[in-house]
Amino acid sequence: MRKDERYFQMPDEMQCNRVEDILDKEESVLLRVKPNRKAYVLNHILKMMPVALLWAAFDGFFIFMLVSSGAFAEMGIFSLFIVGFFALHLAPLWMWIANIVRAVGEYKNVEYVFTEKRIILRSGLVGIDFKNIYYSDIEGVNLKVGIIDRLCRVGDIYIQAMKQSSVLFDVENPYALLSEIQRIVHDIKTDILFPNDLRPETNRGFRTGYTPPGREE
C-alpha cells in the first residue's frame, strides 16, 4: 500500500485552536460555558496560600536576622550559598505565584462546550488542549460548592467517565447545569441500551411510567 504523506496534512485554515475545528461534520454546539473569572482566579489564589505565606514568613525571619545582625555581610563568598539555599527553599512560594499567574493567563482559553455527543474541555496557557467526554461514557456526575463558590454563586462539577475524570471549574448556575447533564446522560444511555424501535407499546419494567414517544394515552 502506497503511503501518502499528505493524508494527515490539514489546510492552513484548519490549523487553529477553535472548538469548531474538532467537531464532526454533523455535530453542532448546543451550549458554551466559561468559568466565572472572579471565582476562577480567587480559588487559585487561595490554593496553597496558607502554606506559601507561612513558608515565606519563616524564611523571611531568618533572612531578616542574618541581614540585620550583619552576619550576612561577613560571610563573604559563602553568602552566595545562603542566597541560593533560600531561593530554592522558597519553592512553595514560587509555585504559588506561578499558579496564580497561570490561572490569570489561561483563563481566556478555558471553555466548556456541550454538543449532542460530548462535552469538550478547552484549556491551555501556551498551547491549546482539548479533552473529550462522551455522554455515553459518563458514569457519575457530582457537584461541589465551596465557600468562595457560594459567595460567587458558582460550583465545580465533577464528571467521572470511563478511565478518566474531569472537573468543570467555577461554572455559573451549577445546579441547573448538573441536572441537565444528568438528564442528557440518562437519555442517551437509555437510547443506546433500549432503542426506540425496540421499545414495546407497554413498558413492563420495574415500576416505571415510561411510555414511548407518540404513544401517550
pLDDT of 80 higher than 60: yes
What angle is formed at CA 20 by the lines to CA 137 and CA 173, rounded to 5 degrees? Answer: 60
Is residue 211 within 8 Å of residue 217, measured between CB atoms?
yes
Cα–Cα distance measured from residue 157 to residue 174, given in angstroms and rounded to the nearest whole number: 7
Average pLDDT over residues 183-188: 86
- Tell how strand 138-144 and strand 129-134 pair up: unpaired
CA-nearest of 95, 90, 108, 111 to 44 is 95
- Tell how strand 111-115 and strand 29-33 pair up: antiparallel
Cα–Cα distance measured from residue 46 to residue 100, given in angstroms and rounded to the nearest whole number: 9
Please give the model's pTM, rounded to 2 decimal places.
Answer: 0.73
Bridge partners for 119 per DSSP: 114, 133
pLDDT of 213 higher than 70: no
In this prediction, residue 79 has a pLDDT band, given cuts at 50, 70 and 90, of: confident
Residue listed under C-alpha cell 414495546:
200
Q: Which pLDDT does position 33 carry in this prediction? A: 93
Q: Which amino acid is at 17?
A: N
Q: Where are the beta strands (DSSP E) in the chain?
A: 29-33, 111-115, 118-123, 129-134, 138-144, 154-161, 164-172
Is residue 116 within 8 Å of residue 27, measured between CB atoms?
yes
CA-nearest of 55, 71, 168, 69 to 110 is 168
